[in-house]
Structures are given as C-alpha cells and as structure tokens.
Amino acid sequence: MSTVAETNIKPTPEHGTRPGASIRSRLQDALPKIVLAPSFAITVVFVYGFILWTVYLSFTNSKTFPSYAITGSRAYQRLWRWTFESDPPSSWYTSITNMGIFGFLYIFICLALGLFLAILLDQKIRGEGMLRPIYLYPMALSFIVTGVAWKWFLDPGLGLEQTLHQWGWTSFHFDWIKNKDFVIYTVVIAGVWQASGFIMAMFLAGLRGIDGEIMKAAQIDGATTFQLYRRIVIPLLRPVFLSAFIVLAHLAIKSYDLVVALTSGGPGGSAWLPSNFMYEYTFKRNEMAVGSASAVIMLMTITAIIVPYLYSELRERPR
Amino acid sequence: MSVIATPARQSTGGTSARTINRIVIYGLLALFALFYLMPLFVMLVTSFKTMEEIQNGNMLALPQAPTFEPWAKAWGETCVGLTCAGIKGYFWNSIKMVVPAVLISTLLGALNGYVLTKWRFRGHTLVFGLMLFACFIPFQSVLLPMATILGSLGRFGVTLRNATGFSFGLGNPTVNLVFVHVVYGLGFTTLFFRNYYEAFPTELIKAAQVDGASFFQIFRRIMLPNSMPIFVVTVIYQFTNIWNDFLFASAYAGTGDAMPMTVALNNVVNTSTGVVEYNVNMAAAMIAALPTLLVYVVAGRYFVRGLMAGAVKG
C-alpha cells in the first residue's frame, strides 16, 4: 500500500478554512466524510454490531426465538463437550473433523496443483491462451452448479462408476459420495476442481513477474530446471503463496453451498462443515444459542488468519 | 521468465530428450484440461438427451437424437417445490436482485474509494481496514441478527401497507436481498476502487481544486471517465458473487415465489417426488450457470483481474 497522499500533499483544503468561514464552505470540507459516512455506518452496524449481537445470543438460552436473558456459556460448554464426544460422533465433532480434513486437503491440493499447472503453462506453451480459460472457468460457476454437476458425475449408478463398468472395467468401485466415511473427500474433489484454476492464475501471474535476468544467470551457472524452480523460483513466489493461502482458507471456512448441493449434508450429516452445522442448528433444530456459538467460533478462526494478514498489508510502510 | 525452454540453452539434452519433455508437458496439460472440462461436458450432453438414453447409454456419449425438450421443460414446466411452472420466474428473480445490488454497491464503492484515497482524513486506514475485514467474515456470524431485523422490517411493512396502502418495499424478499448484498458487498467494491484510485495521480486532483472544482465535480469529470476498467472488474465480480450466492438467498428467500435461481435449482435437483429427470436437472443447472459463464467468456480477463484484486494484493 503506497501512501500517495502524505500529510503534506493532502488535497483536503483544510488549511483554507478559517474559524469564521461560512457554513457552506464548512459543509464543503466535511463533504468527503459525509459521503463516506453511510457506508461506514452500515459496516459498523450490520457487520460489527451484528457480530456483537451474535456473540450476545451465544450466551443466552435462545431456542426457536431469541431470548435476551444471559444464561452463561452453556452453548459453548455443549460444543466443547461435543468436541470430544466421538462415539457415536456428535454433529459438531463431525463438522470440525470434516473442516480439518477438507481445509487441509483443499488448501494443500489447490496450492500444489495450481503451482504445478502454472509452471507447466509457463514453458512457452502453444495454445496457452486456450488452456488458461479452460482451467479457470469453474470459478465462474456457483457452488450449487458445481455440486449438481459433480453429484451426477460421482453417482455410482449414473456417473463414473457406471461408465467404467460399461467400458468393461466391472470391478471398478467408487461410491464415496454415498459413504459416510468418505463423503467429505468428494467435497474436496469438487472444491479443488472449482478453485485450483484460479490459484494457477495467481501463480502464473507471479511467475510472469519474476525477473528473467535472475533465471538466465542461474542457468549460466549450470542450474538444472528442477534446481532453478526449487531454489530460486519457488522462494520468490512466497507472497503469492501467502495470498493464495488467505483466499483458500477463507473460502474453505465459508464453504456451505457446496456441501448442500453435492451431498445434501451427506448420509446422516456426515459431510457437514461448521457452516452447515450453524445453519441447521439455528434455523432447523431451533437451537439458536448453539448455532450462534458455532458462528462465533467460525468467526474467531477466520479472524486469527485474516487480521494479521490485513494488518501487515495495511500498515503504513516507509517508502 | 520462461527462459528454461529456450532452445539455445538446451542444446546439451539433444533433440529427442527435448521432444519427449515437450510431449510429457503437453500430455499433462491436456489431461488436466479434460479434468476441468469433464463435468461441464457431461452436464451439457446430458441436458440434450432423452431419459431413455440416459438410463441405457453412456454418460460420456454424445446425444444420439439431441432434443431441446429438457431445456424447455426446465425453463417452463419443472417443479420447484410444489409449484410446477419451471425456473423462469426464479431466473427473473435473480436478475431483479442482481442488477440493483450490483449498481448500488459499485457506485458506493467508487465514492468510498475516491474519499479514502484523495480526501484522506485522520484514521482513514482504520476505516478502510474495518470495511475490508467485513469481506472476510463468515456470514454465519451476521445471519441471525439480519434475519431478525428483516423480519421486524417486514412486520413494519405490513403495518405500513395497512395504513397507507403501500409497503415501500419493506418485507419484499427481493428488496431484502438487494439490501443484504449491498451491505456485504461494500467491502469488496471499496477495496477495488481504493486500490485503483491509489495509483491515480493526486496532482490532477490538486490542480482541479486550484481551479475551483468541487468534490463531486472532480469525481464526475476526472475520476469517473478514468475508471472504466475498474468499473468493469467490480461489476463482473459483484455480478458473479451475487448471482451465485446461496447462503443469504436460502436464509432470507428460501421459500415462496421470490427464491433466486440458486435456491430454485437446489430445490429442483433435490425434489424427490416421482422419477428424477436428470436431463431436466442438468438443463436447469446449465441455465443457472449461463449468465456467469457468458460474462466469463465475454470478459474473462476482467473477471480474473477482479478475483486477483479480491485477494487484496494485485
């Protein structure tokens, strides 16, 4: 973030205002703030005010309707107890373990695949202009459409399994989407399909930004292609890794629609993520306090990742 | 960059090693292209098949007798919940929601970005930081309070209609969704314009000020004419996001006639009465995907730029 408008070149005509200036000119001075005020007020009320409201609700005994008598941290205690209740697994236990599996695999595979494809595409490929949009178009689709498409593709009776059976590979078996222990991995597949092309584009932009001279110098020194990428290119891409990680992490925690469309929650809620847990408990199971507490936990997770990042991005850097 | 593959420096490996190398690279790229295209291809061919052909044929085979029947049925006849009038109504719902929401949030974002870069005040970074963080919150943490507020506004709207004969849009699900999308889209639109205007020469603004131009004159005459690229990026980004939204749509317009397209599609696919018509489901999914796909095909470059800008760093 550059600081174009340092204090001394600030275009605000403040220095022109005298104490006795007319209301009109004072209004003129305040105009920028007046223009910004509604947006800022909306953000304060509907984002931060609502977050506090949700936090408040999580400490009440709200069921179907909000109740505003504080009854302590019962909702959190229940979630905490459920965290360790793995036999039979509670929905919350399932949701957070799924979040762990999904989050890790989704981020890791997207980064690895994105980088791999970007490096391949960067080898002076003929037809790059045609391949890039093909890798990237899933990002334009909604999670619902993605879910519908993959639900069909992964359905054992209709999709891939059936097709391979028809081609003669009758022992092929792939029913993850109907299997409560594996259904979360189908969410990973569909999620990776959707986002990895975009991560590829981020890495490709990063690769194109690297100074060719550095590469030439390394090659003259006899570095192999592999060494070149491992020792020079990938370390140079560190900022891209960070941005990509942030994008993927917050997409992963927010994922909700994909699970709904792809699995309808999976057999017995086995594909739930915390976002699905929150929605179900708040709107369907009439456990508003528990739902709110889970939303607060989601928010805290994202905050822990995003705030340090935003802070480092927005810090006024000396030029 | 790509000096690795320049022929001049690679003479040691010999031509055959190089050729094999290239074949492997192209092979891998083609394989991944198949991976990305497959679901769309399957969706597309299935939507042109008859049910009989789907049940007996191969998923990957081209339709033997292509028929538009499923598309017509998805558009005008299929059942969404209990109403069987196709998805066309929901398609228009989405349009009615997307257009105002995109326009309002983009315009507000432009003004905010202008103030936050060219009319800075003490604490502008904090204001921007607070607005930016709003982009990243899981919407679950505001979902319930918003539902409560929209509910009471709706009740107030009923009172208002009984008293004056007009509810001023209060309680209308489409209006509610427009409002919600403007509120939670502001962070992104402000981010886009702020980053864009940051690079815009402040000297020009100063010169215009010396000439006596006012705040809005500068915005209209100097900033707006130079903002075309970022407008395109922002509009595309907002359009895609709002069109594709499911969480808000299902929470605030999840039932009834005001459902947006995504919710209606999910209902079509998960309706379990009678025979599941896969071809109709796929046609409905294609119809839901077409607007954003079209935008992507027409303005792909701006689409990517928007996504990148959404990653904070350009």
SS (H, E, C) B153-212: HHHHHHHHHHHHCCCCCCCCHHHHHHHHHHHHHHHHHHHHHHHHHHCCCHHHHHHHHHCC
**Residue A55 and residue A29 share a domain:** yes
User: Phi and psi for A60 in degrees, rounded to 5?
Assistant: -105, -170
Chain A residue numbers touching B32 (CB-CB < 8 A): 117, 135
Rounded distance between C-alpha atoms, residue B287 and residue B5, angstroms: 43
Rounded distance between C-alpha atoms, residue B173 and residue B169, angstroms: 9
Question: Per the domain annotation, does A298 fall within a domain?
Answer: no
Which residue of chain A is at minimal alpha-carbon distance from B278?
A152
Most trustworthy range by pLDDT among A14-28, A103-117, B2-16, B300-314: A103-117
What pLDDT is recorded for position A11? 46
pLDDT, tens digit only, all 319 positions of chain A: 333 333 344 444 444 445 556 787 788 778 888 899 999 999 999 999 999 999 998 998 888 787 787 888 888 888 888 888 777 888 888 899 999 999 999 999 999 999 999 999 988 888 888 888 899 899 889 999 999 889 888 888 777 887 888 888 877 888 888 778 888 999 999 999 999 998 998 898 888 888 878 878 888 887 787 888 888 888 888 888 988 898 898 889 888 989 998 888 888 888 899 999 999 888 888 888 899 999 999 999 989 988 888 888 777 654 3
**Residue A73 and residue A8 share a domain:** yes
What pLDDT is recorded for position B83? 77
Rounded distance between C-alpha atoms, residue A312 and residue A80, angstroms: 33
Chain B contact present for A76, CB below 8 A: no
Which residue among A85, A118, A136 closes a domain? A85
Which residue of chain B is at minimal alpha-carbon distance from A62?
B144
Give the closest residue to A2 by CA, choosing from B33, B200, B14, B109: B200
Q: Residue B306: is its pLDDT beyond 80?
A: no
- Range name among A188-197, B1-10, B125-134 with the lowest pLDDT average: B1-10
Count residue pairs from A and B with Cβ separation < 8 A.
Answer: 299
State what percent of residues in chain B have pLDDT above 90: 32
| B5 confidence band (pLDDT: 50, 70, 90) | very low
Verify whether the Cβ–Cβ distance B142 to A153 is below 8 Å.
Answer: no
- What is the CATH classification number for the domain harbouring A157? 1.10.3720.10
Interface test with A, best of B136, B149, B209 (most A CBs within 10 A): B136
Rounded distance between C-alpha atoms, residue B13 and residue B8, angstroms: 11
**Between B5, B38, B184, which is nearest A124 by CB?**
B5
Interface test with B, best of A60, A145, A234 (most B CBs within 10 A): A145
Rounded distance between C-alpha atoms, residue B57 and residue B70, angstroms: 17
Rounded distance between C-alpha atoms, residue B179 and residue B170, angstroms: 11
Specify the number of domains making up chain A: 2
CATH number, span B77-310: 1.10.3720.10
**Residue A129 and residue A21 share a domain:** no
Report yes or no: A27 and B214 within 8 Å, Cβ to Cβ: no
**Residue A108 and residue A226 share a domain:** yes
Q: Tell which A residues from 172 to 211 touch B, by Cβ distance under 8 Å.
A: 193, 197-198, 201-202, 205, 207-208, 210
**Residue A148 and residue A222 share a domain:** yes
| B123 confidence band (pLDDT: 50, 70, 90) | confident
Give the closest residue to B177 by CA, choosing from B263, B284, B306: B263
Q: Tell which A residues from 278 to 317 touch B, by Cβ distance under 8 Å.
A: 278-279, 282-283, 288, 291-292, 294-296, 298-299, 302, 306-307, 309-311, 313-314, 316
**Residue A69 and residue A9 share a domain:** yes
Q: Average pLDDT in the B118-144 region?
A: 88
What pLDDT is recorded for position B56? 79
pLDDT digits (tens, 9 = 90+) for B194-246: 988 988 888 888 898 888 888 889 999 889 998 888 898 899 889 999 999 99
The reply to whether omega before A88 is within 30° of 0 (cis) is: yes
Instruction: Give the number of other Cβ atoms within 10 Å of residue B5's Cβ.
Output: 16
Classify residue B59 by burial, with Cβ atoms within 10 Å: 0-12, 13-18, 19+.
buried
**Between A142, A149, A282, which is nearest B246 by CB?**
A142
Beta bridge mates, B80: B83
The residues of chain B that CATH labels 1.10.3720.10 are 77-310
**Residue A7 and residue A142 share a domain:** no
Chain B contact present for A121, CB below 8 A: yes
Chain A residue numbers touching B308 (CB-CB < 8 A): 201-202, 205
**Residue A70 and residue A171 share a domain:** no
ipTM surpassing 0.90: no
Verify whether the Cβ–Cβ distance B59 to A210 is below 8 Å.
Answer: no
Q: Residue B158: is its pLDDT beyond 90?
A: no
Q: Residue B274: is its pLDDT beyond 70?
A: no
Question: Per the domain annotation, does A318 fall within a domain?
Answer: no
Question: Per the domain annotation, does A308 fall within a domain?
Answer: no
Q: Residue B67: is its pLDDT beyond 80?
A: yes
**Between B37, B184, B202, which is nearest A11 by CB?**
B202
**Residue A237 and residue A253 share a domain:** yes
Rounded distance between C-alpha atoms, residue A129 and residue A173, angstroms: 37
Q: Return the H-helix or E-strand segment holding A18.
A: none
What pLDDT is recorded for position B289? 92
Chain B contact present for A244, CB below 8 A: yes
Report yes or no: B120 and A275 within 8 Å, Cβ to Cβ: no
Q: How far is B206 from chain A (nearest CA, A)?
A: 6
Domain that holds residue A161: 89-286
**Residue A225 and residue A128 share a domain:** yes
pLDDT digits (tens, 9 = 90+) for B161-200: 888 877 777 878 899 999 999 999 999 899 889 988 988 8
